Amino acid sequence: MAKIKSSFVCQVCGYESPKWLGKCPGCHSWNSMVEELKNDHSVANRIHTSTFQKPQPISRINMEEEPRINTNINELNRVLGGGIVPGSLILVGGDPGIGKSTLLLQTSQSIANQGHQVLYVSGEESVKQMKLRSTRLNVHSDHLYVVTENQMEQIEQIILELQPEVVIIDSIQTIFHSQVPSTPGSVAQVRESTGHFMRLAKSNGIAIIIVGHVTKQGEIAGPRLLEHMVDTVLYFEGERHHTYRILRAVKNRFGSTNEIGIFEMKENGLVEVENPSELFLSQRPIGVAGSAVVASIEGSRPVLVEIQALLSSTSFVTPRRMATGVDQQRVALIMAVLEKRIGMFLQNQDAYVNVAGGVKLAEPAIDLAIAISIASSFRDRPTNAYDVYIGEIGLTGEVRGVSRIEQRVAEAKKLGFKRVYVPVKNLKGWNIPADIEVIGVQTVAEALEIALGGNM
């Protein structure tokens, strides 16, 4: 009999140890080490039976560009970089109930309607349960095949017999390999199953989409190696109690990263949002202090969003600093600049900053809008409803230049805004469109003087 060994593996990062540890040395997680069995004989057999390929010079490889599979969902195509690449391995993660299975079932319908064969493998739902959900979503096609299966060997046999062009695995945490002596969802099973699907995708030219569960920290469950193995990582974001969902690409070997797609959850499934800027600004209050609009670049397109700030006096020694949708440390830095360079006394103020609509912004071009909203709330002076603020703020109080200013200003003009505050450096090298005023500012003090007026 093959010798069976055991080791303790961290279920968060995949760190292995010969003995149990209360705290993982790799990711510093507590009580995450679980004992897993190892069968060296089975591993050796899988290594020896792998297909051998002879190395060849890269200059002699014939490049035949395969057409991408069009999903007929523009927002999804945008995030993927133009469609699904044949032979690619795509990982989709998100909170429970956010709409991952709904999106993939609608995608399967769109692809199957074009004549492509699609296989949907569910390890969590029976075939009848999938039929109930597909009826609600109006999904029905003779080219869409569904099956309930958890065993890796059986799934591989089904794929090789059916030869579909797209395979969806929902979810990777329910799949197990019989030669891996661990429970489904463990690090060893997730790693082995993903590696098996990767070999299937590359050797047969089949695009495989796998769904991954997320931890309470919002990261995909399993080892970090899982995200390195796949070609594309997509995160489905949004609040369960809100109807809007954001699909974000954090890794894409065949397109740009940080691209987003906007969807709205309705009774009959997810619907694309063609103009996200208009969506995020639809409920913006007019004439209220603490509100500012910024033109942010998300992936390849500009998006106008509203940043709200609320400052109130505190009776505690240490004031609260809370931020939703933006980096909390960045907000603290901007408040320090306002206090040091502008002279605002914010040490006795609780500060709350929020990005309306649930979108998350990470680029530095939103700094000026954050500063304007904070100053507006602190002085209780409303901003102009038709102004947009763009710029990065330095520690000395200067407003630094940003990229792709033409697209930001064009988006602001399209939605009817009249003035745009930009860094002075961005005034050169492009033609300012008509019917919109572009104001160049060099410092935060200058921007506040023009936007809010009076002695700040």
Annotated binding site for ATP: 94-101
- The token pair at 107 is 């995608």
The three-point CA angle 397-401-403 to 5° equals 145
The answer to whether 287 and 113 are in contact (CB under 8 A) is: no
The Cβ-side half-sphere exposure at 83, using a 13 Å CA radius, reads 13
Q: Are strands 166-170 and 207-212 parallel, antiparallel or unpaired?
A: parallel
Q: Determine the residue type at 267.
A: E
- What distance in Å separates the CA atoms of residue 341 and residue 81, rounded to the nearest whole number? 43
At 217, is the secondary structure helix, strand, or coil? coil
Burial of 347-357, coded b for 16+ CB within 10 Å and e otherwise, reads: eebbbbbbbbb
Strands (DSSP E) found in 19-74: 33-39
What distance separates the 2 farthest-apart alpha carbons in the chain?
85
Q: What crossing angle do the helices spanning 367-379 and 328-337 adopt, rounded to 10°?
A: 60
Q: Where are the alpha helices (DSSP H) in 255-319?
A: 276-280
167 vs 39: CA distance, rounded Å: 29
Walk across the sheet containing 419-423 and list its strands. 387-389, 419-423, 437-441
Query: Which backbone phi and psi does 337 adopt, to 5 degrees?
Result: -65, -45
Query: Can you say which residues are annotated as belonging to the binding site?
Result: 94-101
